Amino acid sequence: MFNKAKLTSYQIKKIIECFSLDLTATQTSKLLQFNRKTINNYYTTFRIAIVFNQQDEFQKFVGKIECDESYFGARRIRGRHGKLKRGRGTYKQPVFGIFERNGRVYTEIVPDCKKKTLQGVIMGKVDLHSVMYTDGWRGYSGLVSVGYDKHFRVNHGANEFARNHTIHINGIESFWSFTKRRLAKFNGVKRNFYLHLKECEWRWKRNEKELQEDLVKILHKY
């Protein structure tokens, strides 16, 4: 990938180390005394490779699965008035998440959180033999009818967040919390949001050494 790079292998290794530590391009540029544009180019290359990796890794989920949606971006579109229509009464960008307990997380940017939209993603990514856990949002109604015989729900509207220490969606909610905290340091990431979202999938619950070793493998692969 870097055969034509002007930097040495050692310099590229240092950039990879900084990226794995989740330093911003500005921080890395100052620390290594490299041009900010150069660091941005490398960081973008890393993120694109990570997207390819995430897409290849997550073909089908099976087991105990948590599903949830979250929203990113501005609360209102400037100059637009009247009733809010997107998502659950907001103009924020809806993102749908699937979490395989003790395992992977997958996210997908969706146009809305209607039943047809969410069921389409679930049926494309989750094996029918899985045990499904969701909240009470009507977008998850009818999963049993399409073949997911084990579907358990928690009613957040009634302040119910867990039952029997098993029925909950704490895992995917933890991921959303991690993602929003991380994106905050990039000022919400108005550009390249998809790249950063997939990067959050890749980073979640992994330490710097694991990330660095995996990134090297990914870069050699793609």
Burial 119-156 (b: 16+ CB within 10 A, else e): bebbeebbeeebbbbbbebebbeebeeeebeebebbee
pLDDT at 97: 97
pLDDT at 102: 86
* Separation of alpha carbons 31 and 23, rounded Å: 10
Is residue 145 assigned to a domain?
A: yes
pLDDT at 118: 97
Confidence of residue 21 (pLDDT cuts 50, 70, 90): very high
Is residue 84 assigned to a domain?
A: yes
Q: Which residues pair with 98 in a beta bridge?
A: 67, 106
Give the mean pLDDT of 46-52. Answer: 97
Is residue 159 assigned to a domain?
A: yes
* Separation of alpha carbons 119 and 142, rounded Å: 9
pLDDT at 6: 79
Is residue 169 assigned to a domain?
A: yes
Query: Domain of 142: which CATH number?
Result: 3.30.420.10
pLDDT at 5: 58
In this predicted model, what pLDDT tens digit does every residue of 99-149 receive, in sequence order? 999 889 999 999 999 999 999 999 999 999 999 999 999 999 999 999 999
Average pLDDT, the chain: 87
* Amino acid identity for residue 109 in this structure: I
Q: What are the DSSP calls for 99-158, one per residue?
A: EETTS-EEEEE-S---HHHHHHHHHHHB-TTSEEEEES-GGGTTTTTTT--EEEEE-GGG
pLDDT at 180: 94
Is residue 53 assigned to a domain?
A: no
Q: Using an 8 Å Cβ cutoff, are 186 and 179 in contact?
A: no
Is residue 164 assigned to a domain?
A: yes
Confidence of residue 188 (pLDDT cuts 50, 70, 90): low
For residues 158 and 6, the model is more confident at 6
Is residue 74 assigned to a domain?
A: yes
How many structural domains does the chain have? Answer: 1
* Separation of alpha carbons 165 and 143, rounded Å: 22
In percent, how much of the chain has pLDDT > 70?
85
Q: Using an 8 Å Cβ cutoff, are 103 and 78 in contact?
A: no
Q: Which domain holds residue 77?
A: 64-179
Is residue 163 assigned to a domain?
A: yes
